[in-house]
Structure 1
Amino acid sequence: MIGELLVLYNTLFNYFLLKFTQEITGLYVKRSRLLLSAFCSGLIASIFYQTLIGALLSFIVLIGLAFSFRLQALLKQGTVLFITTFFLGGVLTSLLPFLLNQSEVTFFILCTAIAFLGLTAIHSKWRAMTLSKIQHSFVVDCDLELFKKTYSLKGFIDTGNECTEPMSGKPVHFLSYSAVSTYLPEDFHKALLEWDEKNPYQLKMFPAYVYPKVRVLTLSTVQQERSTVLAFRFDKLKLTGTTTKEMFEQYIVFTKQDARYPQDAQMILHVLAL
């Protein structure tokens, strides 16, 4: 009975480790192959219990059957698996005095839960770091020329932003109001605060130089809500960084909800900025 339980424990933990390694390294492997590898490795580890030869053979079989016996797989997947095994082993060892006081069923459930939650937490952190790294590649420096003033801003190219001004078909970008509010021309700033979304076509509060460059747009949000906004045509937008580009006479929309801008950006740029 003890031998069967040892094989079961080893197989389950091996499967968790293989699944985690697969997710981290981005290699697709069928679940049946992972289970077979986990079982064979667990069986070897149980037969050659607490021996160096058994540990090495079990580790090689675990990687080889699941991924490949080639040197590249042993180095890439093997490294991730090796580090993860040490982490999980360290966590369980530190909790061993508590775990040994439990019944066999409780011991099994607690060890399984600790392994699952620990690997899930690492995977979530890894995904967040990977996402942040990908997003950072879309960050650019922006020099925006609007109403004869230039603003230096941090922009984020949003591949999901396909908003355009209907009449001209020109791209629409989104600009954080709080990032530029203190630098806007006083007459324009005052008019912008006076504008009423419920009466969008009432634009008499704006100075004369704004009229040729303002458009009233109706946009749909991610939550499928529709809102009426003002879009202003800028003179020039220069991008530097991961991409270098100059864009002329496109539109920007001021937004107050800039807390959701990725990477602490001040502008959300149209996908055509790529």
Structure 2
Amino acid sequence: MIGELLVLYNTLFNYFLLKFTKEITGLYVKKRRLVFSAFVSGLVSSVLYQSFAGAVLSFVLLIGLAFSFRVQTLLKQGTVLLIATFFIGGLLTSLLPFLLRQSDLIFFIFCLSIAVLSLTFIHSKWRNMVKEKLQQSFLVDCELELFQQTFSLKGFIDTGNECVEPISGKPVHFLSYRAVEEKLPEELKKGLLTWDDNNPYQLTMFPSFMYPRIRVLTLSTVQKETSNALAFRFDRLVLYGNIKKEILDEYVVFTRHDARFPQNAQMILHILALN
């Protein structure tokens, strides 16, 4: 009975380690293959638990059966698995004096819970780090010319922003009102503050020379809610990245919700800014 429980414990720990390794390295593997690999490795390590050769064989089988026996796999997935194993092993060792006071069942539940929670925490931190790195690659410095004013801004190219002005089909970008407020013409600021989105086509609060540059848009949120917004046609937008890009006569919508902009950007750019 003790042998069967040892195999079960090793299999469960191996499975969660393999699942963690799969997620970190982005390699697709079927669940049943992970289970089979975890079981075989758990069986070998349970039988040869006092042998260094048995530990090595168990590790190679765990990686090879789950991902493949190629050298590249043993190095890439094997490295991640080895680090995770040492981390969990060290954590459990530090808590061993407390865990040994418990019954066998409680001991196993505690150990398994600690392993799962630790790996989940590491995976979450790793995903956030990857997301942060990916977002930074979409950051650009930009220079916006609007109503004879020039604004130097930090822009973020949002692959989810596909908003266009319906008449011309030109892209619409989103600009933080707070980032440009000081340099905006007073008549534009007053117009934005008094404009009523419930009566969107009433534009008398803006100077007449601005009328040709204003468009009323209906925006939809992810929650399928709709709202009206004013878009203003700018003169020029220059993006400074790996390649300098100039954009002419597209639209910006002023927004007060810049706290939601990724990477502390001041302007959310249309996806076509990538082209």
TM range (shorter): over 0.9
Secondary structure class of the residue paired with 2:163: coil
Alpha-carbon offset, residue 229 of structure 1: 0.9
Q: Measure how far apart 1:244 and its partner are.
A: 3.1
Instruction: State the Cα distance separating 1:144 from its structure 2 match.
Output: 0.4
Q: Write out aligned runs for 1:67-78 (5 A).
A: 67-78=67-78
Work out whether 1:110 is the aligned partner of 2:110: yes
- RMSD of aligned C-alpha atoms? 1.2
- Provide the C-alpha distance between the structure 2 equivalents of 1:16 and 1:166, rounded to a whole number of angstroms: 50
Tell me which residue corresponds to 1:273.
273
Shift of 1:216: 1.3
Q: Render the CA deviation track for 1:163-188: whole Å, top value 9, x for unaligned.
A: 11111111111001111111111222
Cα drift, residue 63 of structure 1: 0.9
Aligned to 2:202, the other structure's residue is in SS state coil
Structure 1 length as normaliser, TM-score? Answer: 0.96
Paired amino acid for 1:113: S
Q: How many residues align?
A: 274
Secondary structure of residue in 2 paired with 1:68: coil
Name the structure 1 match of 2:123: 123
Gaps of 5+ in 2: none
Aligned-partner Cα distance in 2 for 1:39–1:244: 55
What CA distance in whole angstroms lies between the structure 2 residues aligned with 1:170 and 1:22? 42
Q: Distance in 1 between matches of 2:243 and 2:23?
A: 30
Quote how far apart the aligned CAs of 1:209 are: 2.8
Instruction: State the Cα distance separating 1:243 from its structure 2 match.
Output: 5.0
Partners of 2:169 and 2:156 lie apart in 1 by 21
Cα distance in 2 for residues equivalent to 1:72 and 1:220 = 47
What is the percentage of aligned positions where both structures have the same residue? 70
Q: Distance in 2 between matches of 1:61 and 1:93?
A: 25
1:58 corresponding residue in structure 2: 58
In the alignment, structure 1 residue 182 sits paired with structure 2 residue 204: no
Task: Name the SS of the counterpart of 1:196 in structure 2.
Answer: coil
Determine helix, strand or coil for the equivalent of 2:201.
coil
After TM superposition, the score normalised by the length of structure 2 is 0.96
> 1:90 maps to what in 2?
90
| Residue identity matched to 1:110 | F
* Counterpart contact for 1:140–1:242, Cα < 8 Å: no
Corresponding letter in the other structure for 2:235: D
Cα gap change, 1:261/1:243 in structure 2, threshold over 3 Å: closer, same or farther? farther
Any idea what SS the aligned residue of 1:209 has? helix
Cα distance in 2, alignment partners of residues 14 and 246 from structure 1: 54
Gap runs ≥5 in structure 1: none
Do 1:143 and 1:150's aligned partners in 2 also have CA atoms closer than 8 Å?
Answer: yes
CA–CA distance in 1 between the matches of 2:78 and 2:192? 59
* Structure 2 residue identity aligned to 1:33: R
Q: Which segment drifts farther, 127-136 or 245-254? A: 127-136
CA contact (8 A) 1:233 1:251 kept: yes
Given residue 196 of structure 1, which amino acid in structure 2 is its aligned partner?
Answer: D
Distance in 2 between the 1:64 and 1:195 partners?
A: 65
Q: Which amino acid aligns with 1:13?
A: F
